[in-house]
Amino acid sequence: MKKKKAGSAVIKKRDPRKDWDLYLFLLLPMIYIIVFKYLPMGGLVVAFKNYKVRQGIWGSDWVGIDQFVRFFESYMFKDIMVNTFVLSFYSILVSFPIPVIFALTINSVQNKRFKKVTQTIVNMPHFISTVVLVGVLMMIFHNRQGIYGNIVHMITGEYPADLFASPEAFRHFYVWSAVWQNFGWDSIIYTAALSSVDPSYHEAAQMDGASRFKRVIHVDLPTIIPTIVTMLILKMGHVLTLGFEKIFLMQNPLNISASQVVSTYVYEMGIAGDGAGNFSYATAIGMFNNVIQFILVVIVNKISKKVSETSLW
């Protein structure tokens, strides 16, 4: 994060001819970024066309904003936007505070070995692949062969209904499996910030008779507030970029009413099965999402600049 410095020193730039080799270094990264990042941005023109593979991007007919209008008027529009927002905000609401609380808790643990071992364990799931995570979820919560099914069977004598057929359960699965996978990893940044707390504050508070819990609230927490704000900005900035990969794997025809979000719909319209002729339509949907996302990043950044002087650029 860049902290805005009032009147930061002006650095004298060098004669670019002396740095010709540095520009040469940048050549390859530049080519990469132009070809694989900026060309696709240019490719967004297909959203305003009726793209036909044979005619190519430039040969296809212009249709203006027809593709966007088609999406807004489609009966899926409302559901998709609601799903995208609900899933995004549910996700942030749950997965943001838990790492903070965990960091404060583990920071109060004094046994160093215990701390180290537990941290190693809780960070581990971060490295599990999305495919494996969803696979494990589906097996453990299988209504007959999984732990879940067998526990319910043991208690009630009957096997429960299939949770993966339930749109309601989909949201909880999506959010809580992410918490399981990432709460430890996400807390690293806070534990790092907490390790910089000046012990003399704690000593002073102790002298005044503050309990350990009070010191967590009044000494530890304020220290990590800047980190919390920064992380929140980052999260908010990406609120609508729901991971396609995981949702796509968890999606099935029975939970589609809760699991169809913008990115999966783009895939379905543009690439999967019968949608193969719908490149333009799918691009328009994706672009609509990206533009909203972009505006959101800019707004969040503006606000945070005003409020906390912490900003992303």
Task: List binders of another protein among 160-189 (CB under 8 A).
Answer: 180, 183-185, 188-189
What's the rounded Cα separation, in Å, for the pair 271 and 275?
6
Kindly state whether residue 5 participates in binding another protein, applying the rule CB under 8 A: no
Kindly state whether residue 62 participates in binding another protein, applying the rule CB under 8 A: no
Could you tell me if 42 and 54 are in contact, meaning their C-beta atoms sit under 8 angstroms apart?
no
Kindly state whether residue 217 participates in binding another protein, applying the rule CB under 8 A: no
CB atoms within 10 A of CB 231: 18
Q: 4, 7, 29, 200: which one contacts another protein (CB under 8 A)?
A: 29
Kindly state whether residue 247 participates in binding another protein, applying the rule CB under 8 A: no
Piece of the chain touching another protein by CB under 8 A; list 64-72, 89-97, 131-139, 303-311: 131-139
CA distances from 159 to 64, 152, 183 (A): 54, 6, 31
Write down the least CB distance from residue 232 to another protein, Å: 14
Write down the least CB distance from residue 72 to another protein, Å: 18
Which tokens go with 230? Answer: 């920064």
Q: Which residue's entry shows tokens 């909880």? A: 172
What is the three-class DSSP state of 8? coil
Conformational region of residue 294, where left means phi above 0, alpha means psi within -120 to 50, and beta covers everything else: alpha
Class of residue 240 by CB neighbours under 10 A (exposed 0-12, middle 13-18, buried 19+)? buried
Q: 123, 143, 166, 308: which one contacts another protein (CB under 8 A)?
A: 123
Kindly state whether residue 208 participates in binding another protein, applying the rule CB under 8 A: no
Kindly state whether residue 154 participates in binding another protein, applying the rule CB under 8 A: yes
**Site map 98..117 versus another protein, x via CB under 8 A:** ----x--xx-xxx---x---
Q: In this complex, which beta carbon is closest to another protein, that of residue 109 or of residue 307?
A: 109
Question: Residue 181: what residue type?
Answer: Q
Kindly state whether residue 75 participates in binding another protein, applying the rule CB under 8 A: no
Kindly state whether residue 94 participates in binding another protein, applying the rule CB under 8 A: no
Q: Total residues contacting another protein (rule CB under 8 A)?
A: 98
- The two most distant CA atoms of the chain are separated, in Å, by 80
